[in-house]
Amino acid sequence: MQTDGLYADALLKYSHMKNSFNVYDSSAQRVSGNASTDGFSASLEAGKRFYLNTSRSGFYIEPQAQLTYSYQDKTTVMASNGLRIDLDSFNSTLGRASALIGYNLDEGSKRVNIYVKTGYVGEFAGNLSYSLNGSNEGHSNRGDWWNNGVGMSAQINSQHNIYLDLESSTGSKFNQRQVNAGYRLTF
Tens-digit pLDDT profile for residues 75-108: 999 999 999 999 999 999 999 999 999 999 887 7
Does any domain span residue 131? Answer: yes
Does any domain span residue 12? Answer: yes
Side-chain half-sphere CA neighbours of 142 within 13 A: 5
Does any domain span residue 25? Answer: no
Mean pLDDT comparison of 2-16, 38-52, 160-174, highest-scoring range: 38-52
The whole-angstrom distance between residue 141's C-alpha and the CA centroid of its chain comes to 15
DSSP state, residue 88: P
Number of domains in the chain: 1
Does any domain span residue 124? Answer: yes
Q: What is the mean pLDDT of residues 33-57?
A: 93
Does any domain span residue 1? Answer: no
CATH of the domain at 125: 2.40.128.130
* More confident: 185 or 38: 38
Domain boundaries, position 154: 6-19+30-185
Within 8 A by CB and 6+ apart from 135, the residues are none
Does any domain span residue 24? Answer: no
Indicate the pLDDT class of residue 13, thresholds 50, 70 and 90: very high
